[in-house]
Structure 1
Amino acid sequence: MSSSTRLLILGTLLDGPMNGYQVRRRLEVMGADGWASVAFGSIYHGLSKMADEGLLTVVESGKGGKTVYEITETGREEFHRNLLISWHEVRPVVDPFQVALTYMDRLSSEELVPALYGRIQELRRQITLIEHAYGAKQRYGAPRHIDENLRLMAAMFAAQLAWAEHAVTQVEAGELP
């Protein structure tokens, strides 16, 4: 389980006891699958693991495996510590596109130019979709500041779009790769 998933589960349980399905739904409403790479199947394993670690406690073992978890004081401390670390730690965003970029010299310009134009078109589409989503998550109970995740994602796509638009002109002019 990633440290991001761990932080999201602990943070969600700050709102009160929940079962795995409720945690998953809360994260889905926030759109965490889009900006945090949450594997929703790992939530159930994560809840159990964190209970074993003393970060959560089981408050109800319901029918059909609907175990309800509550965050412990140790879990609150772990959440707060990891939250502050995440605010101060700067890590590169891992994007599979950078692997493709590493080998752009393995494509002919006849392949690379259409690929870049296709990427430009897709980046513009994604930015538009994100901009239309501003405010929509609140209708389903997400806090207003969740839009900041969308704004950050749009800004990262916009930076990549600016790079791609510049790169395609260089490829067309024979200056790259």
Structure 2
Amino acid sequence: MGSRPARTTYEITPKGQDELDNLLRGYWWEMKPVSDPFFAALAFLPALSREEAAAALRNRAAQLRAANDGVEVAAEKGWLREKPVHVTWMWELMVARNEGEIAWCEWVAGLVESGVSYLPEKVSVEGLEWERWRKQVD
């Protein structure tokens, strides 16, 4: 063990403890917006062809299913049983959120494939080529 560096021990300062307490309670008691770049991309849905948009949504659903499958495999191998119960709950929350998004992705992909129009009739924003996009997706 002579090749290992010396062990360093850190202690939290009273100021650091106060900051931790404030952050922790803030995350427990206040809703914070989740920043997912997918929301920005979804705002530009008309930039994709219907075929690509539906395929991308189904791919997102598949990726979320794969993440859920990974949690299931970890649970089957006993990894989650070795963790405190609240850690298991955390993973279950992630799976539940993913299941909701999977259902949403499949639903919207179906709408896109069915031809539902998702462009506004009139847009007065100069510089955005909505008419070109409308022709591409309608």
**TM-score w.r.t. length of structure 2:** 0.69
Q: CA RMSD in A?
A: 2.2
| 1:83 is aligned to 2:24 | yes
TM-score (normalizing by structure 1): 0.55
C-alpha separation in 2, matches of 1:76 and 1:137: 29
Structure 1 unaligned residues grouped into runs of 5+: 1-62
Equivalence for 1:160 = 101
Moved more, 68-77 or 83-92: 68-77
Determine if the alignment matches structure 1 residue 136 to structure 2 residue 79: yes
1:15-94, aligned counterparts within 5 Å? 64=5, 67-94=8-35
Identity of aligned residues (%): 35
Write the distance in 1 (CA, Å) between the matches of 2:9 and 2:81: 25
Q: Which amino acid aligns with 1:83?
A: L
- Matching residue within 149, 160, 174 for 2:90: 149
User: How many residues were matched structurally?
Assistant: 113
Is the 2:64–2:98 Cα contact (8 Å) retained in structure 1?
yes
1:87 Cα deviation (Å)? 0.4
More strand by share: 1
Higher relative contact order, chain-length normalized (CA < 8 Å, sep 6+): 2
Which blocks of at least 5 consecutive residues in structure 2 are unaligned? 119-138
Deviation of 1:74 after TM superposition, in Å, equals 3.1
Does the C-alpha gap of structure 1 residues 176 and 162 become closer, same or farther in structure 2, counting only changes over 3 Å?
farther
Q: 2:55·2:109 contact (CA, 8 Å) conserved in 1?
A: no
